[in-house]
Amino acid sequence: MTAARFSPGGEPHRRKQEALNARLDPRAPLVFDTRELGRRPGAMKELSRSVKSPGGLGVEFIGVPDDATIEVELRLESVMEGVLVTGTARAPLKGECVRCLEPLEQESTADFQELFSYPDADDRSRPAADTGDDAEEEDTFSLEGDYLDLEPVLRDAVVLSLPLQPVCRDDCPGLCPDCGARLADDPQHAHEDAVDIRWAALQGLAGTMKDGENDMPRKAGDDSQEK
The burial of 156, by beta-carbon neighbours within 10 Å (0-12 exposed, 13-18 middle, 19 or more buried), is given as middle
Amino acid at 107: E
58 strand-pairing partners: 63
Q: Up-side HSE of residue 55: CA atoms within 13 Å toward CB?
A: 0
pLDDT of residue 30: 94
DSSP 103: E
Nearest to 32 by CA among 159, 158, 151, 155: 151
| Dist CA 195 CA 193 (whole Å) | 6
Give mean pLDDT in consecutive 10-residue pieces for the chain, a chain of 227 residues: 39 48 79 91 94 94 96 96 96 95 94 92 49 52 93 96 93 84 78 62 64 58 52
**Per-residue pLDDT at 108:** 94
* The predicted structure's pLDDT at residue 23: 72
Residue of 72, 83, 10 whose CA lies nearest to 47: 72
- Helices of type H across the chain: 2-6, 11-21, 151-161, 197-215, 220-226
Write the burial class of residue 73 (CB in 10 Å: 0-12 exposed, 13-18 middle, 19+ buried): middle
Distance CA 115, CA 94 (A): 31
Our CA dihedral for 162, 163, 166, 168, rounded to 10 degrees, sits at -70
SS3 state of residue 86: strand
- Give pLDDT, residue 96: 95
In the prediction, which pLDDT does 211 show? 61
CA 82 to chain centroid, in Å, comes to 27
Residue-level pLDDT at 4: 37
Q: How far apart are CA 156 and CA 73, in angstroms?
A: 16
Note every long-range contact of 19-26, with CB atoms under 8 Å and residues 24 or more positions apart, other chains counting.
19/145, 20/119, 20/143, 20/144, 20/145, 20/146, 21/144, 21/145, 21/146, 21/147, 22/145, 23/144, 23/145, 24/144, 24/145, 24/147, 24/149, 26/147
Per-residue pLDDT, 142: 92
